[in-house]
Structure 1
Amino acid sequence: MDNNSSSSEGRKQSCADVSKCFQLLESILDGEHIPNSKEVLQEKLDKCQPCFQHFHLEQAIREVLKTKCSKQATPNELVLRIREKIQEIK
């Protein structure tokens, strides 16, 4: 979705059911199967400024998390020390 796909002038400045809309937008971002999701998403973004902002904020956060968070191997020494401590506590 292009952040500048349409002007904010034509969008509502408030949303009648923010929590329901945000849940729908997050479901779409999560890749859940929603019938006509592209059309539903575009309609929401075209008509509602809060939905537009929330969608793009969530999308940006997810992109940052994807690029900045990576799996790193846990050092074997640390694993062994944790196991030893657990055994000591038992």
Structure 2
Amino acid sequence: MSEKRFGAEPAPEPDGLTVVHRFSSHEVVRVNLYIAGGFYRSVARASYETPDGRLAYDLFLWPQPDRSPSGWYWWDASRMKRRTYRGPGSVS
């Protein structure tokens, strides 16, 4: 399977004018994706949306967080799976 089809696309870090949503400890967004030749599980630390509706997540990747390509990636429903868990202290 090709990297182009299954690889996650890096997104730019938000500038000072972009509204960034930071996830609390009660709100966990898990994303599974393929990047840099391997499959990763991740937890989103933050997200932002562009004026045209494109969504980016700041992902902390496993299995080797110290060597994985953690960072900002564009959300792509055809290439990624996402699950959101909201705990008792979360705000909807």
TM-score normalised by the chain length of structure 1:
0.26
TM-score (norm 2): 0.26
